[in-house]
Amino acid sequence: MKRVLSAVLLLAFGFPLLRAQLPNTVFNQQPAPPRKSIGFQADVFPFLKNNEYFNAINPGETFFGFRTSVAGVFNLQPGGKARFTTGLMVQENYGDAKTVIKPMFSLSLTSYKEWNYVFGTLVSGTRHGLIEPLYNYEQVLTQPLEYGIQVRRDNSKMFYDGWLEWRQRFNSGNGTREMLVAGQHIQPRLSLGKNTTLSLPLQMVLVHQGGQSVNNPLPISTRIAATGGLRLAGNDTGWVMEGYALQSLDNSPNPQQPWKNGYAFMANLQKRFGRYHRVAATWWFAREFTSTLGNPVFTNVNLGYPYANEHTRRIAMLRYVYTCPILGNNLWIDARIEPHYDFERAGMEFSHGLYLRYIRSGSFSIPRIPGFF
């Protein structure tokens, strides 16, 4: 424990020029909740991300498509303490033979102490607040909706997000394994004066794939990735400094990848220039580390093809993000360039992306009919 704590302190304060978690404002934006009894929400999201990677662990891939969703929102209690949302999401990944169509339905209950309980469609994606080695932000494109149960709280003193997602049910007909994801993010916050916040993020993701059927030929797998760290943020100056120590564990009965345990260290720094420009730098060291949902840039093995692996990975990144609102808070544009240098392979790789996000919401009250209500 002393070694882990020392490593976190070293990463957080010994490398003041490094940062990895990108600002994801364009993904985190959400329609404003209705102030009246009934409301609507519309979301339009064209996207393009191109990964120019040339190795077997994280092979290159391009995401190019368009997503839109429309939902009705019903306040079941005044002030939105109980809210029901239902709608439809449609996503077209250009080049795919099948259009993705998924329902949206959630019941959100908020207690008087700001605890929020969600049933159905979860508050998901980058809003979980996890670092990229645990949760790849590309899941905003590949897994736009998550279904399950969730508990959240977000205020000046603490951020908490705990959820259970049922991603895939077992299908004996085609041999598909069930898949569930459990995650937890606890981040106590402490104000250091007016302009500085110190946080202690503790994050964990568990991914289980399997099923109880004796006819299932695919192996059962249970993998855990977790991290603890320190985060120091300047509220007005636009800089963020972070350090993390990470641990991975493959608790599968018969592991299908070469390593059961692994660890990693990450040091990060982010700086805002002007209102819309941000630069993020990262130093990453990993040994036998695996993460099922993390960005494959940070893992030591390709879980889909375990023969592609590296015992040690050392990576440095310097990434640029431009995020700007065009029409108030309704229309946003986000452009990013993400090069990184792999010291083990002695080579440079990069990715770039362009995103647009249009969000609109409104509300209205049910007219009163004399004699009825």
- CA 18: distance to chain centroid? 20
Q: Given the DSSP bridges, would you call strands 82-93 and 261-273 parallel, antiparallel or unpaired?
A: unpaired
Q: What is the pLDDT of residue 256?
A: 86
* Residues contacting residue 8 through CB under 8 Å, at least 6 positions apart: 228, 229, 230, 243, 244, 245
Contact status, residue 169 vs residue 210, Cβ threshold 8 Å: no
Q: What is the pLDDT of residue 172?
A: 64
230, 201, 67, 54: which is closest to 135 by C-alpha? 201
| Phi then psi dihedrals of residue 23, to 5 deg | -70, 130
Please report, as a single letter, which amino acid is at residue 245.
Answer: A
* CA atoms of 93 and 78, how far apart (whole Å): 39
Q: What is the pLDDT of residue 1?
A: 39
Contact status, residue 177 vs residue 209, Cβ threshold 8 Å: yes
First to last CA, the chain: 64
Residues with pLDDT less than 50, the chain: 1-20, 372-373
* Tokens encoding 303: 């879980």
Domains of the chain: 2-364 (2.40.160)
CB neighbours of residue 128 within 10 Å? 22
Contact status, residue 167 vs residue 179, Cβ threshold 8 Å: yes
What residue ranges in the chain does DSSP mark as E strands?
38-52, 61-75, 82-93, 100-110, 116-121, 147-154, 158-168, 178-191, 196-199, 202-210, 221-234, 239-250, 261-273, 277-287, 312-327, 331-342, 347-364
Q: What is the pLDDT of residue 293?
A: 95
